Amino acid sequence: MIIAGLQKTTLLDYPGKVACTIFLAGCNFRCPFCQNWEVVAGKGEDIAEQTLFDFLKKRKGVLDGVCVTGGEPLINADIENFIGRIKELGYNVKLDTNGAYPEKLASLAEKKLIDTVAMDIKNCPSEYAATAGCEIDFATIDQSVKYLLSDKVDYELRTTVVDELHDEKSMLELGQWIKGAKRYYLQNFKDSDAVRYKNLSPCSEEKLNSFIDILRPFVPSAKIRGNG
Protein backbone atom coordinates (compact mmCIF):
# COMPACT_ATOMS: atom_id res chain seq x y z
CA MET A 1 0.00 0.00 0.00
CA ILE A 2 1.04 3.60 -0.49
CA ILE A 3 1.24 5.76 2.61
CA ALA A 4 0.48 9.08 0.96
CA GLY A 5 0.64 11.32 4.01
CA LEU A 6 1.07 11.59 7.76
CA GLN A 7 -0.32 14.29 10.01
CA LYS A 8 1.86 13.87 13.07
CA THR A 9 -0.52 15.38 15.61
CA THR A 10 -4.25 16.06 15.57
CA LEU A 11 -6.76 16.91 18.29
CA LEU A 12 -9.68 16.86 15.84
CA ASP A 13 -9.58 13.68 13.78
CA TYR A 14 -9.98 11.32 16.76
CA PRO A 15 -12.30 12.99 19.31
CA GLY A 16 -11.01 12.63 22.85
CA LYS A 17 -7.57 11.44 21.76
CA VAL A 18 -4.24 13.00 20.93
CA ALA A 19 -3.66 11.25 17.65
CA CYS A 20 -1.87 11.16 14.33
CA THR A 21 -3.56 10.60 10.98
CA ILE A 22 -2.27 8.24 8.31
CA PHE A 23 -3.46 8.82 4.73
CA LEU A 24 -3.50 5.74 2.51
CA ALA A 25 -3.63 6.28 -1.24
CA GLY A 26 -6.33 5.00 -3.56
CA CYS A 27 -10.12 4.99 -3.52
CA ASN A 28 -12.94 3.28 -5.39
CA PHE A 29 -15.10 6.44 -5.29
CA ARG A 30 -14.67 9.65 -7.26
CA CYS A 31 -16.57 12.14 -5.11
CA PRO A 32 -16.51 15.55 -6.81
CA PHE A 33 -16.15 17.33 -3.44
CA CYS A 34 -13.24 15.21 -2.16
CA GLN A 35 -10.68 17.21 -0.17
CA ASN A 36 -8.04 14.50 -0.51
CA TRP A 37 -7.96 14.15 -4.27
CA GLU A 38 -4.16 13.98 -4.46
CA VAL A 39 -4.24 11.09 -1.98
CA VAL A 40 -6.98 9.34 -3.94
CA ALA A 41 -4.95 9.71 -7.14
CA GLY A 42 -1.77 8.48 -5.45
CA LYS A 43 0.00 11.83 -5.88
CA GLY A 44 0.85 12.46 -2.25
CA GLU A 45 3.95 11.43 -0.38
CA ASP A 46 5.20 7.86 -0.47
CA ILE A 47 6.27 7.19 3.11
CA ALA A 48 8.03 3.89 3.76
CA GLU A 49 6.21 1.62 6.22
CA GLN A 50 9.38 1.30 8.28
CA THR A 51 9.58 5.08 8.59
CA LEU A 52 5.96 5.23 9.72
CA PHE A 53 6.32 2.50 12.31
CA ASP A 54 9.56 3.99 13.63
CA PHE A 55 7.59 7.22 14.16
CA LEU A 56 4.76 5.39 15.92
CA LYS A 57 7.20 3.61 18.24
CA LYS A 58 8.88 6.89 19.18
CA ARG A 59 5.53 8.59 19.86
CA LYS A 60 4.20 5.96 22.26
CA GLY A 61 3.14 7.71 25.43
CA VAL A 62 2.67 11.01 23.60
CA LEU A 63 0.01 9.89 21.14
CA ASP A 64 -2.77 7.57 22.21
CA GLY A 65 -4.68 7.24 18.95
CA VAL A 66 -4.10 6.65 15.26
CA CYS A 67 -6.57 7.60 12.54
CA VAL A 68 -6.36 5.52 9.38
CA THR A 69 -7.95 7.36 6.48
CA GLY A 70 -7.58 7.86 2.74
CA GLY A 71 -8.67 7.64 0.06
CA GLU A 72 -10.38 4.46 1.16
CA PRO A 73 -8.18 2.39 3.50
CA LEU A 74 -10.10 -0.85 2.98
CA ILE A 75 -9.22 -0.93 -0.71
CA ASN A 76 -5.82 -2.28 0.38
CA ALA A 77 -5.45 -6.07 0.49
CA ASP A 78 -2.99 -5.92 3.41
CA ILE A 79 -5.00 -3.53 5.58
CA GLU A 80 -5.66 -6.05 8.35
CA ASN A 81 -1.97 -6.74 8.87
CA PHE A 82 -1.19 -3.01 8.67
CA ILE A 83 -3.72 -2.05 11.34
CA GLY A 84 -2.74 -5.08 13.40
CA ARG A 85 0.81 -3.76 13.62
CA ILE A 86 -0.51 -0.43 14.86
CA LYS A 87 -2.62 -2.15 17.50
CA GLU A 88 0.37 -4.19 18.65
CA LEU A 89 2.02 -0.90 19.62
CA GLY A 90 -0.86 -0.21 21.99
CA TYR A 91 -2.68 2.50 20.05
CA ASN A 92 -6.40 3.06 19.76
CA VAL A 93 -7.33 2.98 16.08
CA LYS A 94 -10.03 4.98 14.31
CA LEU A 95 -10.92 3.91 10.77
CA ASP A 96 -12.41 6.30 8.21
CA THR A 97 -14.28 4.45 5.47
CA ASN A 98 -16.83 4.93 2.71
CA GLY A 99 -18.48 1.62 3.63
CA ALA A 100 -17.90 -0.16 0.34
CA TYR A 101 -16.16 -3.14 1.98
CA PRO A 102 -18.55 -4.40 4.69
CA GLU A 103 -16.87 -7.78 5.13
CA LYS A 104 -13.48 -6.19 5.82
CA LEU A 105 -15.09 -3.66 8.14
CA ALA A 106 -16.83 -6.35 10.16
CA SER A 107 -13.70 -8.52 10.28
CA LEU A 108 -11.55 -5.69 11.64
CA ALA A 109 -14.17 -4.84 14.26
CA GLU A 110 -14.74 -8.42 15.36
CA LYS A 111 -11.00 -9.02 15.68
CA LYS A 112 -10.78 -5.88 17.88
CA LEU A 113 -8.34 -4.25 15.49
CA ILE A 114 -10.34 -1.02 15.30
CA ASP A 115 -11.83 0.89 18.22
CA THR A 116 -14.09 3.30 16.36
CA VAL A 117 -15.31 3.89 12.82
CA ALA A 118 -16.27 7.07 10.96
CA MET A 119 -18.30 6.24 7.87
CA ASP A 120 -18.98 8.85 5.22
CA ILE A 121 -22.61 8.80 4.14
CA LYS A 122 -22.51 10.44 0.73
CA ASN A 123 -26.22 11.02 0.24
CA CYS A 124 -29.59 9.30 0.30
CA PRO A 125 -29.81 5.90 -1.44
CA SER A 126 -31.40 7.21 -4.64
CA GLU A 127 -28.64 9.83 -5.12
CA TYR A 128 -25.71 7.77 -3.88
CA ALA A 129 -23.96 6.92 -7.13
CA ALA A 130 -24.29 10.47 -8.47
CA THR A 131 -22.75 11.88 -5.31
CA ALA A 132 -19.99 9.26 -5.17
CA GLY A 133 -19.08 10.11 -8.76
CA CYS A 134 -19.08 6.55 -10.08
CA GLU A 135 -21.04 3.33 -10.37
CA ILE A 136 -21.38 1.60 -7.01
CA ASP A 137 -22.88 -1.51 -5.49
CA PHE A 138 -25.22 0.22 -3.07
CA ALA A 139 -25.96 -3.07 -1.29
CA THR A 140 -22.45 -3.02 0.15
CA ILE A 141 -22.97 0.50 1.51
CA ASP A 142 -26.28 -0.50 3.07
CA GLN A 143 -24.65 -3.59 4.61
CA SER A 144 -21.99 -1.42 6.28
CA VAL A 145 -24.61 0.99 7.61
CA LYS A 146 -26.66 -1.86 9.05
CA TYR A 147 -23.55 -3.34 10.66
CA LEU A 148 -22.66 -0.03 12.33
CA LEU A 149 -26.25 0.57 13.44
CA SER A 150 -26.11 -2.81 15.21
CA ASP A 151 -23.59 -1.13 17.55
CA LYS A 152 -20.99 -3.89 17.47
CA VAL A 153 -18.26 -1.26 17.26
CA ASP A 154 -18.20 2.41 18.25
CA TYR A 155 -19.04 4.61 15.28
CA GLU A 156 -20.17 7.89 13.84
CA LEU A 157 -21.83 8.61 10.52
CA ARG A 158 -21.21 11.88 8.73
CA THR A 159 -22.23 13.64 5.54
CA THR A 160 -20.40 16.43 3.76
CA VAL A 161 -23.20 18.61 2.45
CA VAL A 162 -22.79 20.43 -0.86
CA ASP A 163 -25.33 22.98 -2.06
CA GLU A 164 -25.52 21.46 -5.54
CA LEU A 165 -25.83 17.86 -4.34
CA HIS A 166 -28.08 17.84 -1.26
CA ASP A 167 -31.61 19.11 -0.73
CA GLU A 168 -34.59 18.62 1.59
CA LYS A 169 -35.88 15.60 -0.31
CA SER A 170 -32.53 13.80 -0.13
CA MET A 171 -32.23 14.56 3.60
CA LEU A 172 -35.67 13.09 4.28
CA GLU A 173 -34.76 9.88 2.46
CA LEU A 174 -31.36 9.79 4.17
CA GLY A 175 -32.88 10.21 7.64
CA GLN A 176 -35.31 7.35 7.04
CA TRP A 177 -32.42 5.15 5.90
CA ILE A 178 -30.11 5.70 8.91
CA LYS A 179 -32.90 5.96 11.47
CA GLY A 180 -31.64 5.67 15.04
CA ALA A 181 -27.94 6.31 14.34
CA LYS A 182 -26.29 7.12 17.67
CA ARG A 183 -23.96 9.80 16.24
CA TYR A 184 -24.56 11.59 12.97
CA TYR A 185 -23.01 14.82 11.74
CA LEU A 186 -23.49 17.17 8.85
CA GLN A 187 -20.30 18.95 7.89
CA ASN A 188 -20.45 21.78 5.39
CA PHE A 189 -18.38 21.56 2.23
CA LYS A 190 -15.37 23.86 2.11
CA ASP A 191 -13.92 24.78 -1.23
CA SER A 192 -10.14 24.60 -1.59
CA ASP A 193 -7.45 24.13 -4.20
CA ALA A 194 -7.41 20.42 -3.32
CA VAL A 195 -11.00 19.82 -4.47
CA ARG A 196 -11.22 18.08 -7.83
CA TYR A 197 -14.19 20.06 -9.20
CA LYS A 198 -14.37 23.82 -8.98
CA ASN A 199 -18.11 24.43 -9.47
CA LEU A 200 -19.33 23.40 -6.01
CA SER A 201 -20.35 25.52 -3.06
CA PRO A 202 -21.19 25.15 0.64
CA CYS A 203 -24.72 25.33 1.98
CA SER A 204 -26.05 28.36 3.78
CA GLU A 205 -26.50 28.20 7.55
CA GLU A 206 -30.25 28.41 6.99
CA LYS A 207 -30.18 25.38 4.70
CA LEU A 208 -28.03 23.38 7.12
CA ASN A 209 -30.44 24.08 9.95
CA SER A 210 -33.39 23.06 7.77
CA PHE A 211 -31.63 19.76 7.07
CA ILE A 212 -31.22 19.15 10.80
CA ASP A 213 -34.94 19.81 11.33
CA ILE A 214 -35.75 17.21 8.67
CA LEU A 215 -33.33 14.63 10.09
CA ARG A 216 -34.05 14.91 13.81
CA PRO A 217 -37.35 12.94 13.84
CA PHE A 218 -35.41 9.95 12.50
CA VAL A 219 -31.93 10.66 13.88
CA PRO A 220 -32.22 12.59 17.17
CA SER A 221 -28.42 12.66 17.44
CA ALA A 222 -28.05 14.70 14.21
CA LYS A 223 -25.83 17.76 14.62
CA ILE A 224 -23.91 20.20 12.49
CA ARG A 225 -20.26 19.49 13.14
CA GLY A 226 -18.79 22.39 15.05
CA ASN A 227 -22.19 23.43 16.40
CA GLY A 228 -22.19 21.87 19.88
- Share the mean pLDDT of the chain: 94
Amino acid 20: pLDDT: 98
More confident residue, 47 or 38: 47
Is pLDDT above 60 for 227? Answer: no
pLDDT at 157 over 90: yes
Question: What pTM does this model have?
Answer: 0.94
User: What DSSP character marks residue 127?
Assistant: G
Q: What are phi and psi of 134, to 5 degrees?
A: -165, 170
**pLDDT computed for residue 37 by the predictor:** 77
Is 226 or 172 the better-scoring residue by pLDDT? 172
Q: pLDDT for 122-141, tens place per residue?
A: 999 999 999 999 999 999 99
CATH number at residue 14: 3.20.20.70
- pLDDT surpasses 50 at 228: no
| Range of the structural domain that residue 93 is part of | 3-224
193 vs 94: which has the higher pLDDT: 94
* Pairing state between β 19-24 and 3-10: antiparallel
Sheet with 154-161: list strands edge to edge: 3-10, 19-24, 65-69, 92-97, 116-120, 154-161, 184-188, 223-224
Number of structural domains (the chain) is 1
